Chains A and B, each alone.
Chain A
């Protein structure tokens, strides 16, 4: 008997089932297809304006910084300002996400590099697939235009989040995933990021920048885009 068979046999012995019972199989198939939503906290709910307000407050609690701009064309300026404010070099790495590609980067003095990080970049900008008001979280997806290394290797992670992608709860992000990739589908990696990297492993002292970014700056864009993924 293979280990796989032995484990399944042991589980089924304990549950007093054979495994082929139709009613059990139906229950499981139905649950997987329906993906019922459980308890949703009231905190993240509300209209678009309320969600944005909650998002900003919760991201701030998680020690991310948040800026809001009116339209996509304002993003490069805001990022240049953020880098200056923290005395960071005007270098920026990004993927080829269409949202970012359409922005007027040449209007700033920023030096732009494209593609995944090799661990020697100070700053990177990425485009969020969605945001979660309840916890101030951004959802970042891997894909040909979105290297995952940009979310973790640079010291300063900047995320552009269109306001109309801010969901109340994490379940809203999962719904967007199902709508975009089909039932049960999705990219290789979904990073749900809530604030900058941290550790409290030294005498419970909270320190930012453990292995990932020391800073997380979120730029919310009010202009309406719709889902581009």
Chain B
């Protein structure tokens, strides 16, 4: 699913999403995150200082990325773990599949991992006859539905409880048809029971990582369910898939970022389970994996270093940008067409799959700036979306009509006197034409706007003339 992006059909995806009544109903839940984050931030006076600290840590780490990766690798090896390097998605898939084959694995449990989505691991495992079981409740639900996640921390946010009931009745055929699944508790209870057996019988567990710590060689994974823990302590082999920029120097550095992560994501002060895993189980340990493997993925990230999109490598995948994005609220995550939705997806997707495929996404922004305002890592998301728009324009990717309209506007915008001469009569004319109703239900060349809503009639003067009158500025 996730390896075949539909990002190039973004416009069609948007139209479908906007007219999907069921989806529009489910999307109202995405707005709950806003108040929760605000409350958590309110409780922590040091929040902004922590954001600065977190940002500085990532910037320092990226400037020394090669050396911290070396130190991390050395530490993992010294603990008896294995480190594998993957240039791209295909290499990463092959590493995991070869490990599964070597162990004769038939069933693989998985903790939620965006990198696993990025490399399309589930499909690759299934193609080899290996059962891949998502264990995060949201991921399990969308796996049953054959979908990609629509949100990076709430993958099934587009699904209603009734959809889940239907899905469970279809998938869990061994259970009595008469059972009651009307309450969310009952749905959770059923998933818990089914997945408990899968946890206990899996051959290999695959998790992602929120951090790789150079100081101790530990991978850190954060969950609320505890599924990443059952995934890694029950099977004999624990495989971590993570990308190069997940590295931090020390545990104390991870602590700074952890403090902004959960608050920005779910509005919790700290997620329920923060787990540090270093190497395989130690001599005498009564449980834990016999083998520990880390697959470190590049997939285009090293090429972002030192360029205008380097700031994006600070992203910690909290989802705050999409939780606060009016575009995401309107269309949900699937319309973005690949793994990463919302503002962070609009910036990252063209970097990872190319501007030709993903170039439409950075246009899906009103530049309202809420994403940057809430980003715990202070990533200038609107600025970077503008960079992408410029690149898309330079490469002549937008349609000719759009390019012509922009060029026409630019011609006037660069000539203020001409601009004023053209706009003030136009405003007066529109004011005159719309004076009776104060709005237009139809305007020539503006069908894209007026098809869905009225266009407010101008009040007669231009913004510039009113500004001059108000401030008495010399111009």
A residues near B (Cβ < 8 Å) are 2-4, 6-8, 10-12, 14-17, 19, 24-25, 27-28, 31-32, 35-43, 58, 61-62, 95, 115-116, 118-119, 134-135, 137, 142-144, 147-149, 151-153, 169-171, 174, 177, 184-205, 207, 209-213
Contact residue among A27, A197, A207 (Cβ-Cβ distance under 8 Å from B64)? A27
Chain A CB within 8 A of B244 CB: yes
Q: How far is the CA of A6 from the CA of B302 in the complex (A)?
A: 10
Chain A CB within 8 A of B137 CB: yes
Chain A CB within 8 A of B424 CB: no
Residues in B whose Cβ lies below 8 Å from that of A12: 66
Residues in B whose Cβ lies below 8 Å from that of A196: 272
List the one stretch of B120-128, B245-253, B364-372, B427-435 in contact with chain A: B245-253
Chain A CB within 8 A of B239 CB: no
Chain A CB within 8 A of B311 CB: no
Q: How far is the CA of A46 from the CA of B297 in the complex (A)?
A: 43
Residues in B whose Cβ lies below 8 Å from that of A41: 44-46, 50, 259
Q: How far is the CA of A31 from the CA of B64 in the complex (A)?
A: 11
A–B complex contacts, Cβ < 8 Å, 25 sampled: A3-B85, A6-B87, A10-B303, A17-B66, A19-B67, A24-B64, A31-B60, A35-B253, A39-B259, A58-B269, A116-B287, A142-B282, A149-B287, A186-B276, A188-B282, A189-B277, A189-B278, A194-B273, A195-B272, A201-B138, A202-B137, A204-B32, A207-B184, A210-B192, A210-B226
Would A184 and B216 count as touching, CB distance under 8 A?
A: yes
B residues near A (Cβ < 8 Å) are 26, 29, 32, 44-46, 49-50, 53, 57, 60, 63-71, 75, 85-87, 91, 135-138, 141, 154-157, 160-161, 164, 184-185, 187-188, 192, 195-196, 199-200, 214-218, 224-227, 229-230, 233-234, 244, 249-253, 255-256, 258-259, 266, 268-282, 284-288, 296, 298, 302-307
Would B250 and A35 count as touching, CB distance under 8 A?
A: yes
Would A170 and B275 count as touching, CB distance under 8 A?
A: no
Would A32 and B71 count as touching, CB distance under 8 A?
A: yes
| Those 8 A-B pairs whose CB atoms lie nearest each other, nearest first | A212-B226, A210-B225, A201-B138, A14-B305, A144-B284, A10-B302, A190-B276, A4-B85
Contact residue among A142, A192, A197, A200 (Cβ-Cβ distance under 8 Å from B226)? A197
Contact residue among A16, A61, A191, A197 (Cβ-Cβ distance under 8 Å from B275)? A191
Would B305 and A15 count as touching, CB distance under 8 A?
A: yes
Seed contacts A142-B288, A188-B281, A199-B224; 9 additional CB < 8 Å A-B pairs: A3-B87, A11-B244, A14-B307, A35-B251, A39-B256, A119-B200, A194-B271, A197-B225, A204-B29
Would A212 and B273 count as touching, CB distance under 8 A?
A: yes
Q: How far is the CA of A171 from the CA of B50 in the complex (A)?
A: 14
Would A200 and B286 count as touching, CB distance under 8 A?
A: no
Q: How far is the CA of A83 from the CA of B409 in the complex (A)?
A: 73
* Tally of contacts, chain A with chain B, CB under 8 A: 260
Would B67 and A203 count as touching, CB distance under 8 A?
A: no
Q: How far is the CA of A198 from the CA of B155 in the complex (A)?
A: 15
Contact residue among B67, B71, B227, B286 (Cβ-Cβ distance under 8 Å from A147)? B286
CB distance from B413 to the nearest CB of A (A): 35
Would A210 and B137 count as touching, CB distance under 8 A?
A: yes
Q: Which residue of B lies closest to A25 (CB)?
A: B67
Residues in A whose Cβ lies below 8 Å from that of B275: 189-192
Contact residue among A28, A184, A189 (Cβ-Cβ distance under 8 Å from B67)? A28
Q: How far is the CA of A6 from the CA of B87 in the complex (A)?
A: 8
Q: How far is the CA of A192 from the CA of B254 in the complex (A)?
A: 13
Would B288 and A15 count as touching, CB distance under 8 A?
A: no
Known interface pairs A11-B65, A25-B67, A38-B252. Does A144 touch B285 (Cβ–Cβ under 8 Å)?
yes
Interface centre among A28, A137, A201 (most CB of B within 10 A): A201
Contact residue among B187, B215, B258 (Cβ-Cβ distance under 8 Å from A32)? B215
Residues in B whose Cβ lies below 8 Å from that of A24: 64, 67
Would A212 and B87 count as touching, CB distance under 8 A?
A: no
Residues in A whose Cβ lies below 8 Å from that of B251: 35, 174, 177
Contact residue among A7, A35, A39, A149 (Cβ-Cβ distance under 8 Å from B87)? A7
Would B252 and A35 count as touching, CB distance under 8 A?
A: yes
Residues in B whose Cβ lies below 8 Å from that of A40: 46
Q: How far is the CA of A174 from the CA of B274 in the complex (A)?
A: 13
Contact residue among A11, A118, A197 (Cβ-Cβ distance under 8 Å from B302)? A11
Residues in A whose Cβ lies below 8 Å from that of B272: 62, 193-198, 212
Known interface pairs A119-B200, A192-B273. Does A14 touch B306 (Cβ–Cβ under 8 Å)?
yes
Q: How far is the CA of A201 from the CA of B138 in the complex (A)?
A: 5
Would B141 and A201 count as touching, CB distance under 8 A?
A: yes
Residues in B whose Cβ lies below 8 Å from that of A185: 216
Q: Which residue of A lies closest to B300 (CB)?
A: A10
CB distance from B300 to the nearest CB of A (A): 10
CB distance from B436 to the nearest CB of A (A): 46
Known interface pairs A7-B87, A35-B251. Does A188 touch B67 (Cβ–Cβ under 8 Å)?
no
Would B215 and A35 count as touching, CB distance under 8 A?
A: yes
Would A15 and B66 count as touching, CB distance under 8 A?
A: yes
Would A199 and B188 count as touching, CB distance under 8 A?
A: yes
Contact residue among B184, B224, B250 (Cβ-Cβ distance under 8 Å from A31)? B250
Would A186 and B66 count as touching, CB distance under 8 A?
A: no
Residues in A whose Cβ lies below 8 Å from that of B135: 211
Known interface pairs A14-B306, A115-B286, A174-B252. Does A200 touch B46 (Cβ–Cβ under 8 Å)?
no
Q: Which residue of B lies closest to A204 (CB)?
A: B29
